[in-house]
Structure 1
Amino acid sequence: MNVDDEVRGALAQIESAAALYAVTEHHISRYQSVLSGYHPADRDTYACARLDAILTRTAFDHRTECDGVGCRTCDGLHEALTVAVASVRTMLDSDEGRSTHD
């Protein structure tokens, strides 16, 4: 499976979950409009940072409501936060390497 196939598969899963939470095309187009205002090189960074902020808020909110024992949501948040920290650190490491080598 190549990257495009994985991305399309992920999009299908995300769209299915979004539909369960009543995400409409209007909601999606609003964010697409925001993203289109950024330079192409900055779009992924903005989207990642925004998603990470939302994920973090959701994790804090859920933690106050849950003891974490056997909770699948906590397990998912654990994995998602792990990826979030790794991705932001990697972006910062890349930026620092680029600025020291430019």
Structure 2
Amino acid sequence: MEGTCELCDRNGIELTIHHLTPRELGGSLLPIAYLCKSCHKQVHALYSNRELAIRLYTVLLMKDDEALKKYLKWIKKQPVTRVVKIRKSKTK
């Protein structure tokens, strides 16, 4: 499915479903967000499912997170056709 990523706001990009509360922590039937593959991978590379469930359970909270703000500033400048390499967090 193509559309606009709810995190980086890039348009015309392939989207994935991100469970705002991870499924393993009871989020199967809770709200979801449509994120591009790059943003989805970055969110999971930076944060554990537990931290996502406790602290980053809405798109607005993710957009306001300091580490994700830096990433979002950068990714918004990238063309939607670019394959982005994601680095895992050293503190995760």
- TM (normalized to structure 1)? 0.27
Q: Which has the higher strand share?
A: 2
By relative contact order (CA 8 Å, sep 6+), the higher-ranking structure is 2
